[in-house]
């Protein structure tokens, strides 16, 4: 029996990149680099501006913040303050009443004895 010869596989030819594609790639790369640079510059500028603004406005900010608060927040904070004050007053009154009662009882016991 004759042995069959194996067929040799043909090697695929690599497609040569056209010059236009290469140029396009380079162009895109340049664009990317440029855009990155621009972004960096913008960030730096923003940072500088922010710092300057902060320094100038710190004193005024306190007054502005008081004025600029939304009315809801102020109402809520007022309610909370009122509640806290009421609770404190009630606790103080209860403590005073208990002390007075204890004193009265002790004095009453002494008088009886």
Q: How many Å apart are CA 21 and CA 14, to the nearest integer?
A: 15
Q: Kindly state whether residue 61 falls inside one of the protein's structural domains.
A: yes
Q: What is the pLDDT of residue 60?
A: 58
The answer to whether residue 81 sits within a structural domain is yes
Region of 2 on the Ramachandran plot (φ > 0 left; ψ -120 to 50 alpha; else beta) = beta
pLDDT tens digits for range 74-108: 778 888 999 999 999 999 999 999 999 999 999 88
Say if residue 112 is in the same domain as residue 77: yes
Task: Name the 3-class secondary structure at 69.
Answer: coil
3 located within any domain: no
Residue 74: per-residue pLDDT: 73
Residue 43 belongs to a domain = yes
> Do 88 and 47 reside in the same domain of the chain?
no
Instruction: Please check whether residues 85 and 107 belong to one and the same domain.
Output: yes
- Say if 46 falls within a structural domain: yes
Residue 78 lies in a domain: yes
pLDDT at site 30: 92
Which residue in the block uniquely carries the two structure tokens 């960030």? 43
User: Tens digits of per-residue pLDDT, 14-55?
Assistant: 777 678 888 899 999 999 999 999 999 888 887 776 665 555
- Domain containing residue 31: 19-68
Q: What is the mean pLDDT of residues 55-70?
A: 60
Q: Residue 73 above 80 pLDDT?
A: no
What pLDDT score was predicted for residue 21? 87
Q: Is 46 found in the same domain as 78? A: no
Q: Are residues 44 and 79 in the same domain?
A: no
Q: How many domains is the chain built from?
A: 2
Nearest-angstrom CA–CA distance, 59 and 13: 74
Quote the pTM value: 0.34
E strands along the chain, which residues?
none
Does residue 53 lie in a domain region? yes
Q: Are residues 30 and 55 in the same domain?
A: yes
């Amino acid at each position: 029996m004759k042995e069959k010869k194996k067929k040799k596989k043909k090697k695929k030819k690599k497609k040569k990149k056209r010059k236009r594609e290469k140029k396009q790639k380079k162009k895109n790369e340049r664009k990317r680099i440029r855009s990155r640079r621009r972004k960096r510059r913008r960030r730096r500028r923003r940072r500088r501006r922010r710092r300057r603004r902060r320094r100038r406005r710190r004193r005024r900010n306190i007054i502005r913040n008081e004025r600029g608060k939304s009315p809801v927040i102020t109402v809520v904070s007022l309610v909370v303050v009122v509640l806290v004050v009421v609770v404190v007053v009630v606790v103080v009154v209860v403590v005073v009443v208990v002390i007075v009662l204890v004193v009265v009882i002790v004095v009453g016991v002494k008088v009886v004895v």
